A and B are shown apart, each in its own frame.
Chain A
Amino acid sequence: MSLKKNILALREKKAMVQKGGGDAAIEKQIAMGKMTARERIVALLDPESFHEYDLFVQHEERNFGMDKKELAGDGVITGTGTIYGAPVCVYAQDFTVMGGSLGLKHARKITKIMDLALKLKVPCIGINDSGGARIQEGIGALAGYGEIFYRNTLASGVIPQISVILGPCAGGAVYSPALTDFVFVVENISKMFITGPNVIETVLGEKISQEALGGARVHAEITGNAHFYAESEKECFEQIKKLVSFLPWNNSQKAEAITPVAPTFKKNIEDIIPADPKQPYDVRDVIKVLVDKSDFFEVQELFAPNIVIGFGRMDGETVGFVANQPLYLAGVLDCDSSDKASRFIRYCDSFNIPIVTLEDMPGYLPGVDQEHDGVIRHGAKMLYAYSEATVPKMTVILRKAYGGGYIAMNSRHLGADFVFAWPSAEIAVMGPEGAANIIFRKEIMEAADQDAMRQEKVQEYIDKFANPYVAASKGYIDAVIEPSETRSLLLHALQVSQEKEDYRPAKKHGIPPF
Chain B
Amino acid sequence: MYFLLFIYPYTLHNYFTLYTLLKMNKEIKNELVDFAVTARKYKTLLTPKYKLRKFWVNPNPMEVHSLIPGTVVDIFVKEGQFVKEGEPMLILEAMKMRNLITMPFSAKIKKIHIEKGIKIPKEALLVELEK
Partners in one complex: yes
- Residue numbers of A with Cβ under 8 A of B are 200, 203-206, 208, 211-213, 215, 217-218, 221-222, 277-280, 304-306, 326-332, 336, 362-363, 365-369, 372, 430-434, 437
Nearest-Cβ distance from residue B56 to partner chain A, whole angstroms:
4
Docked CA distance A158–B37 (Å): 40
Docked CA distance A206–B116 (Å): 18
Nearest-Cβ distance from residue A334 to partner chain B, whole angstroms:
9
By the criterion of a CB under 8 Å from any partner CB, how many residues of chain B are at the interface?
35
Scoring B19, B40, B69, B95 by chain A CB atoms within 10 A of each residue's CB, the highest score goes to B40
Whether A221 touches B40, Cβ cut-off 8 Å, given contacts A208-B16, A329-B35, is: no
- Say whether B39 contacts A434, CB under 8 Å: yes
Docked CA distance A430–B40 (Å): 10
Docked CA distance A27–B13 (Å): 36
- Say whether A221 contacts B22, CB under 8 Å: yes
- Say whether A221 contacts B49, CB under 8 Å: yes
- Say whether B47 contacts A206, CB under 8 Å: no
Pick the contact of B38: A213, A277, A430 (CB < 8 A): A430
User: Given known contacts A206-B12, A280-B43, A369-B53, what 15 new A-B pairs fall within 8 Å (CB)?
Assistant: A203-B70, A205-B119, A213-B15, A215-B19, A222-B18, A222-B22, A327-B45, A329-B44, A363-B38, A369-B56, A430-B38, A431-B38, A432-B40, A433-B40, A434-B39
Judge if B76 is at the interface, Cβ distance under 8 Å.
no
- Say whether A434 contacts B40, CB under 8 Å: yes
Pick the contact of B121: A204, A278, A306 (CB < 8 A): A204
Docked CA distance A365–B56 (Å): 15
Flag B42-57 by CB within 8 Å of A: 1 or 0 each: 1111111110011110
- Say whether A203 contacts B95, CB under 8 Å: yes
Docked CA distance A367–B37 (Å): 10
Docked CA distance A221–B21 (Å): 12
Whether A280 touches B37, Cβ cut-off 8 Å, given contacts A218-B19, A222-B22, A367-B53, is: no
Nearest-Cβ distance from residue B125 to partner chain A, whole angstroms:
16
Scoring A200, A280, A306, A330 by chain B CB atoms within 10 A of each residue's CB, the highest score goes to A330
- Say whether A212 contacts B19, CB under 8 Å: yes
- Say whether A329 contacts B47, CB under 8 Å: yes
Judge if B67 is at the interface, Cβ distance under 8 Å.
no
